[in-house]
Amino acid sequence: MTYEFLWFEGLPFPSPGYSIEGIKEACTKFVIKDEDTVLVAYPKSGTHWLVEILCLIHSKGDTKWTQSVPIWKCSPWLETRLGCKLLNESERPRLLTSHLPFHLFPKSFFTSKAKVLYLMRNPKDVLVSSYYFWTTSDLTKKPESLEQYFKCFIQGNVPYGSWYEHIRGWMSMRHRENILLLSYEELQKDPRSTIEKICQFLGKKLNPEELDSVLKNSSFHVMKQNKMSNLETMPESLKSLHISIARKGICGDWKNHFTVAQAESFNKVYQEKMAGFPKDLFSWEYCPRDSGSSMDADKCCPVVG
């Protein structure tokens, strides 16, 4: 069985685990506290990876927490019914996760000192990753084909709406001291330095062994084997929905899926929608071979990290 979308403020959400009242409550009534650490990302940007890293930093590389508590409990999803409940019951300081676009995020954040980590990923890889995610899970009605999903993604007619709006909205906060911008690509390229940057932002000091443990235990292969982080331990009501977060875990998989025409059309839309933003804000641009539309395998962005 698959489910229709839930619609809130013109945006489609998956329905299992969500309710209109719950999303509304999260957006309008939830109180973000100064001590909270918030992770925000558009879906399929590597959210679970960063959650795991944050949990491991929090426990100084000790894996007891990440190996005994499911990831959705360690850093509950604010806009889900269960996540909101867990957060309201939890003792501070809390770790919390959200995919909400900026304009729906709880207003209490703007007067708090809570630290926000905003994670981005090359939108072409987000598109491919999300296509597989919605196709293999039973969370929403499935895309008919990659071609059809490609159009829906560009129009923002996908769960949580437009990628471009999400990025543009959150980017408007980029000058605030309590926001750290991160990318999936920099985590792949140089995970150690990126984790050190996160520690510095959070005011956490880890010794080299603790840092090694964070790196090792947040790796794709370790997370894929860990029942607490690979979503094998889902709440009872979501168990039959075939939700899996670990697929390939690489940069540049879009090159195995987009046609030349799709890559060109995507680049054109990207330039239009992201006009006015400095290019160096987005670190997938750092990958010199990820800017063209060629599908030549030699020009693929190498897998790093």
Residues within the interface to ligand A3P (CB under 6 A): 41, 43-49, 125, 129, 132, 218-220, 223, 245-249, 253
Count other Cβ atoms within 10 Å, centred on residue 197: 14
Query: Toward ligand A3P, which CB reaches closer, 104 or 223?
Result: 223
234 burial level (CB within 10 Å; 0-12, 13-18, 19+): middle
**For residue 93, cis peptide bond before it (omega within 30 degrees of 0):** yes
Closest contact distance (angstroms) between CB of 121 and ligand A3P is 8
- For residue 49, the minimal CB distance to ligand A3P (Å) is 4
Exposed, middle or buried by CB within 10 Å (0-12, 13-18, 19+), for 297?
exposed
- Rounded to whole angstroms, what are the CA distances from 150 to 158, 207, 268, 277, 291? 10, 44, 14, 23, 19
* Identity of residue 106: P
Among candidate residues 99, 103, 242, 257, the one labeled active-site is 99
What the block records as the tokens of 36 is 């909270």
Choose between 112 and 139: whose C-beta lies nearer to ligand A3P: 139
**Torsion over CA: 247, 209, 195, 65 (sign):** positive
Closest approach, Cβ 87 to ligand A3P, in A, equals: 19
For ligand A3P, the closer of residues 19 and 219 by Cβ is 219
Question: 3-class SS at 37?
Answer: strand
Cα–Cα distance for residue pair 159/156, rounded to 1 Å? 8
Closer to ligand A3P by CB, 112 or 120: give it: 120
Please say if 99 is a catalytic residue. yes
Nearer to ligand A3P, 108 or 213 (CB): 213
CB of 74 to ligand A3P, least distance (A): 13
Q: How far is the CB of 239 from ligand A3P (least distance, A)?
A: 18
User: Closest Cα to residue 274, out of 185, 162, 161?
Assistant: 162
Residues identified as active-site: 99
